[in-house]
Structure 1
Amino acid sequence: MGTRGVEGAYQGALRAFQNPMLDLLHRTYAPFVVTVLAMMFTPERPAVAVADAHAEIADALDQLRAAGYGDDGDQPMPAGNARDLCRQWVHAGWLVRQVSDGVEVYRLSAHGVGALEVAGRVGGARTRVSESRVRTLLEAVERLAQDADPDVMARMARLQTEIDQRRRELDRLERGGAVETVDDDQLLEAAENVLHLARELPADFARVAESIKAMQRDVVADLRQDVRPTGEVLREYLERGRQIMDATPEGRAFAGALRLIGDPAQIDDLWNLLRTVLRHGFTALMPETQRRELAEVARRIEQGVKEVLAAQRQASHVITTQVRNHDPMRDRQVDELLRDVMSGFHTWVPGSRHGAAVAPLRRLPVADVGHLRQNMSDTR
């Protein structure tokens, strides 16, 4: 084993564990964080009001401490109150604090969603190498090969083969042939594969929304640093606002997926297919949590699409508003004022106490201008 290879692999592992998702799972209090976030955020409740979140986390802390958790070293509990914990989780990148309909709410970040998905997958039933999973892989590879092959004659030959196979099956059924049934074990494996694929979607949707918001911040920052007159930058930045979905790899990938799931009729078809599956007898062999999760697949997709499109609209609105109000001189003055304010806070906070009063500025300072000339002949 080469030293350079080991060192490169170790550096890659170090970078991986700096990811907020793995950092969450590596923390001492990870079981508590995963438990609270998983109970607080559900597919039906993707956003939680800040006040409600603080109350629920405080209640969870009280219940666990009353049950004896945190008294010994094997089951540590975090110190501090719920507000402090949420502030730490926002800073760590597990939660996002934002304003929705005039109310401050918390949402899981993409890293938070991914961490919960990993914890749930490891703690629940292990996924198996099944016919359904292998078939999904083979079909994906086959579709990739077909899309990558520009040969018209080869494409026509494949289509003709499929048509012949479907025609033979149709002829057999018309002659009174029986529909081939699938045993319950295979159906269960296929349902588990569907759930496995669906569990990754919330984190994917969250990553798309966050990439759009990050691009929005970058565009606004570029605009504030752009010293060109408004007329010169107007068209350029408005175009960036309109093309925001195409500006990131995640956005471009989502735009392709949207062609499959963006049509309400397709979502309705998915609902109908899921109802057909849930009416089948094999679902009685599934745990209640899995049946409920399967029933909510379409809702989670619909909700994820709405969140991404809302992030796109918000980003376009913010960029357009910033462009139309673009004033390089005023922006520089605001930036300087904000830097002065932050500098003042850094100077004042270390020597202040909690709840310390701040003397208000009751009147503007008077400029000392000295003696003003009173007439044209006054040279003083």
Structure 2
Amino acid sequence: MAPFIGSLTVPGDKSISHRALIFSAFSTGKSRVLNCSPAHDVESSAECLRKLGLKITRDEIGVFEIENNGIDSLVAPTDILDAGNSGTTIRLMSGLVAGRPFVSKFDGDESLRRRTMKRVFEPLRELGAQVSAREDTFAPFAITGGNLIGKSFELKVASAQVEACVLLAGLQADGETSVTAPHTVRDHTRRMFEYIGIPFNQNSKTLSVKRLAKPVDAYELTVPSDISSAAFFMVAAACSPGSDLTLTTVGMNPGRTLIVDILRSMGASVEIENARVLCGEPVADIHIQYNGRLKGVAVPPDSIASGIDEIPILAIAGALCEGEFHVSGAAELRHKESDRITSLCDNLKAAGVKVEEQPDGFTIQGQKTIRGGSPWLTHLDHRLAMTGLIASQVFDAQLDIDDPSCMSVSYPTFADDLAQLVGSKT
């Protein structure tokens, strides 16, 4: 296996990019978003906003400019709001239009149509929006908004997307709307509210808002690099002898650092350097050196929300560690673009990994080497595809990945960046 050597700046954070675009609906003037994620998911959010009347352009270096005149300037869409593959788009946009006095129709691709929307529909209905949906659960669906009345919600499952959806609706509701999470979630919404000037109150795990009295001023925001994208290269370097890799300007939101915490607990050499704040978000450079000391750990179930998307790539580190690597409390993985627990375990077994699937996770018996050389089925899931490409680098023989094109959903240049670091195309 080739070492991962050098420096890389991965694309802008997808979660923050969605919010930077969608929250501009509450602004007046021309906002600019720099280093926005090139992911197809983020373009889905931009296109939905265009259909609501926002003027949005993107230049050749990826800078978005958004012109708007406040939330009241949004217009009823004459076309379906197509979220593509993006769960973030469809959930946050649902909250945005729930406060508007018109009908908005949503749809998505085949994968998104299989993902439940109940955790969004229920609070929006309680706020006063009308929702009609396929089987009362799935896209396509329609939301008739307006006349919302604020309410308090306690989330049974921590979800930054559901929290943001409810708060976006709450900014258009009479009275106060509050959301309490069972434990800490990524707080991009709170940080961006503060950065762009949307008033809110926070008390422990509860975030509350009232109807926005007037539009916020247009803003300029630079998006940090995506830690979920950086995670693939962190694991690759930790597993590949001779690696010495620095990932620059990576978002270090406290609700997103599971990948760092788990790799360190496994014994990997992961150093955080040049810590600073960028547009309200903590960022740093991450330096990873191979040391051959990976050992098995049990990922704490109550920490899963801080890195649910990184569990598949962490499984590759688990496959090459000494001892047992165990994940539980991750049943949410079954409701992503694919059933990531079954899909991941099936692919790992085919490659020679000793893995046992459980309802809410899996257990891996680590080995010094993994034979590889097997098919790797992506199920059109971008994170499975990227996990497969890294596994193909660190296992003994390359994998036959059936459809890597789905990586464009979140990281269109992933294969090129990987080739740059290891010196050969994959």
TM-score (norm 1): 0.25
Larger Cα-atom Rg? 1
Structure with more of its chain in helix, by fraction: 1
